[in-house]
Amino acid sequence: MKFTDGFWHNRPGVDAQYAAEAYDVTAHHSPDGDELVVHAPTKVITGRGDTLNRALLTVTLSSPLEGVVRVRVEHHKGALDRHGFDLVGAQTGHGRAEVDDDGGVLDAGPLQARIRRGAPWDLSFTDAERVLTRSGHKSVGYVRLAEGAPVPAEPTGVAGVTTTGLAPASTYVHTQLSLDVGELVYGLGERFGPFVKNGQTVDVWNADGGTSSELAYKNVPFYLTNRGYGVLVNHPEHVSFEVGSEAVEQVQFSVPGEHLEYLVIYGPTPAEVLERYTRLTGRPAQVPAWSYGLWLSTSFTTDYDEATVNHFIDGMTQREIPLSVFHFDCFWMREFDWTSFEWDARTFPDPEGMLARLHERGLRTSAWVNPYIAQRTRTFDEAAAAGYLVKRPDGSIWQWDMWQAGMGLVDFTNPAATAWFQEKIRTLLRQGIDAIKTDFGERIPVDVVWHDGSDPYLMHNWYTQLYNEAVFSVIEEERGHGQAVLFARSATTGGQRMPVHWGGDNSSSFPSMAESLRGGLSMSMSGFGFWSHDIGGFEGSPDPAVFKRWVAFGLLSSHSRLHGSQSYRVPWLFDTGEEEPDQSAVEVTRRFARLKAELMPYLYEAGRAAHERGLPVMRPMQLAFPGDPACDHLDRQYLLGPDLLVAPVFSAEGDVEYYLPAGRWTNLLTGEVADGATWRREVHDFSSVPLWVREGAVLVTTPGATDTERDYTADALVTVYLGEEDREVRVTNPLDGTEVRFAVVHGEDGVSVTATPATAFRARLAGGEPVPASDGTVRLEVAR
């Protein structure tokens, strides 16, 4: 949101007042943590008369966690205070405030906030060596808009809900934080445009806009930079970012109302920023091993019944393609009936029996829901009578005909409505469904009244959190911790606690494949550990080349789903019979599905790192190699876990260009060894993709595996990619949680690999033959 007209002037109708000086600075001491309170008038005070008829901003600094500084800017304290995000990791006792003649310091461990007394306004955030970012002259503003001022104050639409005449807010608070030379900004949720956000205006306002626009399903008012810190704007409502756009040396963020709160989060590395951020806002739940396998969907508007489902599953079995989950999309319910939670008896007369039969075949099952209740259903009448649907200001139920005729919206601010919705989910789970696809949650109107009196503008983005929490918690109750899985489309800050999220409605093309990856990488920089996407694209029907290239990408993602809109996504439908045998869609799908199964000991540990440390399974190159400037803008490749570099192929011909960082790399598929710090241009057939293992990696796999849910500690193959340092890796048995740790120690004549506790395994040097363990140890000779 832009308030200025160039460097010197405001836009017409904008009255902006800025913190002109730190007039006084006071330290408030408490066992719960100190505060530094600064009073900042909007004019430099030179005499008593200057204190009259003047806005005074109160800026309070505190620390909810080591390495984190919270800044709260207030104009009128008595204004209605919208709540912030659930900072589930916040603690007391952090922050030490000191005041001297120069100003004040809030010490939050490795991060300090320093306010300079007097004019001009100068608040800096430093570590032991340098200034990370600064709030300087004219950076803290209180803005009033004249009626009819031509300022884009709120998004013009409410995620698909037309809001003709939506009035802008009349007051805003904004802050600017400086950008250094070469400083780059990442994050702000799942955004499908440029991975680096510099130069962009980003409105944090959930919208159902597909993957080909500036709108986003998952808006997160958190960014991090390549200078060692991140910033969370602690407002679930609309937040507008100007990222080096309105003021090219600044990141500006503004919110409507009378106060603004943000938190500066120290690193110094991007990975450490994410660790602190997810410690504060919550880390992803651990997901079950079976969820990493291939998911196959009915697709959306296709015709299907139990015979269709069995035909697809039989086809996968006959073609020896590993399959973990079968998903039932919207039309498991009757048309006009979403969400009734009742199976369409015309196509699924025996849902419990069908789901039991699928379980007998070793499959898990997933079903689609959304928070909208169609008028045609008995469920609507039940919810309406009980007062469980969101209402308009006149007391009538909010309804519209977009999506489902006459649909209402479940009011999750009403505990009784939440419990009612959860019981519907519980019934579905007890019928035999294992995972829930929580679709939608973005089209949330603002011309409504909520049960608990919440501000409608806050609830627009916050709704998805309440919706997904309601569903995720009941799955955990029914299935247990570590066994709950969502397939969610919408999210905001904190949504990462309830995985998995997928990228929404993409198209069946290479550009859409690339934009999907950009969205996933942006999500990874926003604290989300698990991410998926519709293999082949949702809209349209992919040609065989798009499908096969996307299959390789999809099965080298954290989670993998075949899903479309108007056409099925079983691989044999993309074969003409004229392909070379190893280039068919069936063979490509089989190859990469089996590869993922073999990699599960490694991938499961990457998922545990997401759960324990907040590190995403799919890691942007800048996150993994922050000291390499060549990685700063890369958005067509990533690390899968800590050691595997993936560069998806975005062309039918197989042309691909990618970057290998410094070090020695080994191609997992071919065994080729190459030195990094270089760009590579290659041509790959459909059975191949650039997939490299970094120097020093210890990769644990189970060759020949075809399923994802098994004991990974049994028959493990440990492959050592020689490096300079000793290393230990963990492997977990997902069936009972037991662990084995493999320690790799370098010696003068080779390396030893030792399992603790001792277990049967094989080990090898990359490219060498496996050697079975003796008494829990393998010694591998290194040729000199």
pLDDT at 148: 72
Across the beta sheet with 364-369, the strand order is 435-438, 364-369, 325-328, 294-297, 560-562, 534-535
Vertex 224: Cα angle to 117 and 256 (nearest 5): 65
pLDDT at 166: 34
Biggest CA pair distance of the chain: 88
Separation of alpha carbons 233 and 651, rounded Å:
39
Spatial contact of 390 and 411, defined as CB atoms under 8 Å apart? yes
Spatial contact of 312 and 570, defined as CB atoms under 8 Å apart? yes
Spatial contact of 180 and 48, defined as CB atoms under 8 Å apart? no
Spatial contact of 10 and 4, defined as CB atoms under 8 Å apart? yes
User: 406, exposed or middle or buried, with CB in 10 Å at 0-12, 13-18, 19+?
Assistant: middle
Look at the alpha carbons of 693, 598, 725, 670 in this order and tell me if their dihedral is positive or negative: negative
Containing 458, the helix (H) or strand (E) segment is helix 456-479
CB atoms within 10 A of CB 320: 11
391 token code pair: 């209402």
Helices (H), 282-436: 306-318, 351-360, 378-386, 415-431
pLDDT at 151: 58
**Strand pairing class (229-233; 219-225):** antiparallel
Separation of alpha carbons 418 and 412, rounded Å:
5
Which pLDDT tens digit goes with each residue over 334-383?
A: 999 999 999 999 999 999 999 999 999 999 999 999 999 999 999 999 99
CA atoms within 13 A on the CB side of 240: 20
Taking all residues of the chain, what is their mean pLDDT, rounded to a whole number?
Answer: 95
Separation of alpha carbons 730 and 744, rounded Å:
11
Separation of alpha carbons 723 and 765, rounded Å:
11
What are the backbone dihedrals phi and psi of residue 457, each rounded to the nearest 5 degrees, phi first?
-70, -35
Query: What does the radius of gyration of the chain's CA atoms come to, in whole angstroms?
Result: 27
Return the DSSP state at 343.
B
Paired strand residues for 562: 296, 535
120 token code pair: 């001009």
589 token code pair: 């799908």
Separation of alpha carbons 213 and 159, rounded Å:
12
Which pLDDT tens digit goes with each residue over 155-213?
A: 544 433 433 233 457 899 999 999 999 999 999 999 999 999 999 999 999 999 999 99
Taking alpha carbons only, the member of 266, 216, 228, 286 closest to residue 614 is 286
Spatial contact of 732 and 726, defined as CB atoms under 8 Å apart? no
pLDDT at 80: 77
pLDDT at 82: 79
pLDDT at 157: 45
Taking alpha carbons only, the member of 701, 693, 742, 753 closest to residue 721 is 693
CB atoms within 10 A of CB 385: 9
Look at the alpha carbons of 576, 577, 582, 588 in this order and tell me if their dihedral is positive or negative: positive
pLDDT at 147: 81
Taking alpha carbons only, the member of 379, 372, 310 closest to residue 340 is 379
Spatial contact of 721 and 645, defined as CB atoms under 8 Å apart? no
Q: Which residues are known catalytic residues?
A: 439, 442, 505
pLDDT at 161: 40
pLDDT at 79: 83
519 token code pair: 């969205």
386 token code pair: 């009980």
Taking alpha carbons only, the member of 371, 364, 365, 363 closest to residue 341 is 371
Separation of alpha carbons 354 and 122, rounded Å:
66
What are the backbone dihedrals phi and psi of residue 439, each rounded to the nearest 5 degrees, phi first?
-85, 160
CB atoms within 10 A of CB 655: 12
Vertex 80: Cα angle to 75 and 83 (nearest 5): 100
pLDDT at 150: 64
124 token code pair: 């800096």
What residues of the chain score a pLDDT lower than 70?
A: 149-168, 784
489 token code pair: 């489309």
pLDDT at 165: 31
User: 671, exposed or middle or buried, with CB in 10 Å at 0-12, 13-18, 19+?
Assistant: exposed
